[in-house]
């Protein structure tokens, strides 16, 4: 198949590029090479062209003959402050809108979209009487070390999040990922196109960008260990996530490109094996040979307590099951190469 891959030089995009080529696909690989992600003056790697997805004329040259677009180009991270809003809106929302219009002009009707578990916001919780809607946690609870969501004084437990959970974006990045999904859904309705939106959970693996304010926690812990510092585990370390290896994310994209699912299909892309942040730190530290993590009790503003994926639908409709167990994958990640940090918001 002929595939237009955007964000092909990023952490996730470069793994997808390799996986698509290994399957014999004809990949038109593009990346903007933003200095904020790749460093000043960075040139595209071999086989990747410098293209901005906001450049309609540039896309018009590339899209004829393309069967499916695999859209990974995005400004990532949670957003540090309001000054990041235009970058998210420009690269993510507007870039997707320009791409969708160009796909319509070229008669390309299939989109595989990089989405994120951040669309779910707080995640899903269960009380004694079933599933409970939660808002943000109270600052007096957090200050007193009561980290779990509570209802009538009773701590709630996490539940796996299925894809039909309503979107509740809590950050600028999350707002842009929800917007991308909504634009793509409206485009599909208007054109008869199809969209597979892959909601990545916590990605990690070789080539992950180093520690920046925008990095995921695996890179932050990994960078601390490399510098001989103890990973700082916030809250009580019992907050739960699903860590999915970047080669599994690449495999899910290849499956989505090849499966050509009908309609609009959002799918959790996860390992299906949730792990606490404390165990992530302990696994990395043990494999690295120390130093031991420190559980600080600190609370980072805007953090959600638990977010755990339900992997069932991706298995049913895409036949996707992650191959890498987080315990093994994180132990290997303890000595995997990272990509050098760039100064600003990163582009995947």
Specify burial of residue 175 (Cβ count, 10 A radius: 0-12, 13-18, 19+): buried
Cα 346 to Cα 339: distance, rounded to the nearest angstrom: 12
Q: Of 123-152, which residues contact ligand UD1 (CB under 6 A)?
A: none
Binding-site member from 200, 254, 257, 271 for ligand UD1 (CB under 6 A): 200
- Choose one: 14-22, 24-32, 151-159, 201-209; the region binding ligand UD1 (CB under 6 A): 201-209
Cα 215 to Cα 197: distance, rounded to the nearest angstrom: 22
Annotation says 173 is catalytic: yes
Using rule CB under 6 A, residue 300 touches ligand UD1? yes
- Choose one: 84-92, 94-102, 214-222, 332-340; the region binding ligand UD1 (CB under 6 A): 214-222
What H or E segment, with its residue span, contains residue 17?
helix 11-22
Using rule CB under 6 A, residue 216 touches ligand UD1? yes
C-beta of 149 vs 241, nearer to ligand UD1: 241
In angstroms, what is the minimal distance from the CB of 84 to ligand UD1? 12
Q: Which two tokens stand for residue 247?
A: 């080669």
Cα 116 to Cα 113: distance, rounded to the nearest angstrom: 10
Using rule CB under 6 A, residue 284 touches ligand UD1? no
**Mask: binding to ligand UD1, 1-30, rule CB under 6 A, as x and -?**
------------------------------
Catalytic residue among 88, 120, 125, 173: 173
Beta bridge partners of 130: 127
Tokens 């992650």 belong to: 322
C-beta of 10 vs 109, nearer to ligand UD1: 10
Ramachandran category for residue 332: left, alpha or beta (phi over 0 → left; psi -120 to 50 → alpha): alpha
Instruction: Count the site residues for ligand UD1 by CB under 6 A.
Output: 23
Is residue 277 a contact partner of residue 217, using CB atoms and an 8 Å limit?
Answer: yes
Q: What share of the chain is helix, strand, coil (3-state, %, to 5)?
A: 35, 20, 45
Q: Of 302-341, which residues contact ligand UD1 (CB under 6 A)?
A: 303-304
- Choose one: 53-61, 142-150, 187-195, 227-235; the region binding ligand UD1 (CB under 6 A): 227-235
In angstroms, what is the minimal distance from the CB of 98 to ligand UD1? 23
In angstroms, what is the minimal distance from the CB of 302 to ligand UD1? 8
Cα 59 to Cα 174: distance, rounded to the nearest angstrom: 26
Binding-site member from 1, 36, 42, 78 for ligand UD1 (CB under 6 A): 78
The 3-state DSSP class for residue 101 equals helix
Tokens 């071999």 belong to: 46
In angstroms, what is the minimal distance from the CB of 140 to ligand UD1? 19
- Choose one: 65-73, 82-90, 254-262, 296-304; the region binding ligand UD1 (CB under 6 A): 296-304
Using rule CB under 6 A, residue 202 touches ligand UD1? yes
Which runs of E-coded beta strand occur in 83-226? 110-116, 124-127, 130-132, 150-151, 154-155, 157-159, 194-200, 202-204
Which alpha helices (DSSP H) does 80-125 contain, by range? 85-87, 95-106
Cα 344 to Cα 341: distance, rounded to the nearest angstrom: 9
Q: What residue ranges bind ligand UD1 (CB under 6 A)?
A: 77-78, 116-118, 173, 200-203, 214, 216-217, 220, 232-234, 239, 241, 277, 300, 303-304
Q: Which residues are catalytic?
A: 173
């Amino acid at each position: 198949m002929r595939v237009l891959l955007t964000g092909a030089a990023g952490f996730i995009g470069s793994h997808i590029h390799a996986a698509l080529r290994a399957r014999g696909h004809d990949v038109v690989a593009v990346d903007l090479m933003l200095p904020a992600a790749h460093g000043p003056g960075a040139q595209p790697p071999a086989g990747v062209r410098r293209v901005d997805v906001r450049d309609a004329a540039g896309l018009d040259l590339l899209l004829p003959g393309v069967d499916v677009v695999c859209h990974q180009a995005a400004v990532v991270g949670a957003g540090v402050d309001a000054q990041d809003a235009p970058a998210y809106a420009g690269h993510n929302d507007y870039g997707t809108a320009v791409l969708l219009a160009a796909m319509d002009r070229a008669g390309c009707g299939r989109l595989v979209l990089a989405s994120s578990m951040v669309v779910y916001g707080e995640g899903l919780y269960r009380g004694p009487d079933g599933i409970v809607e939660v808002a943000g946690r109270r600052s007096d609870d957090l200050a007193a070390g009561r980290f779990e969501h509570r209802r009538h004084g009773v701590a709630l437990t996490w539940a796996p999040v299925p894809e039909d959970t309503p979107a509740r974006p809590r950050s600028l990045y999350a707002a842009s990922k929800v917007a991308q999904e909504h634009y793509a859904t409206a485009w599909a309705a208007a054109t008869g196109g199809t969209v597979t939106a892959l909601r990545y959970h916590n990605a990690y693996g070789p080539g992950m960008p180093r520690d920046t304010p925008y990095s995921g926690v695996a890179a932050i812990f990994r960078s601390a260990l490399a510098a001989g510092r103890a990973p700082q585990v916030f809250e009580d370390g019992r907050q739960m996530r699903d860590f999915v290896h970047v080669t599994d994310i690449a495999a899910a994209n290849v499956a989505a490109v090849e499966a050509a699912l009908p309609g609009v299909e959002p799918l959790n892309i996860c390992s299906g094996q949730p792990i606490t942040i404390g165990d992530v730190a302990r696994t990395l530290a043990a494999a690295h040979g120390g130093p031991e993590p420190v559980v600080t009790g600190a609370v980072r503003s805007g953090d959600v307590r638990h977010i755990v994926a339900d992997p069932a639908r991706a298995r049913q409709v895409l036949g996707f099951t992650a191959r890498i167990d987080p315990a093994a994958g994180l132990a290997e990640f303890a000595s995997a190469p990272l990509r050098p940090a760039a100064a600003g918001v990163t582009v995947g």
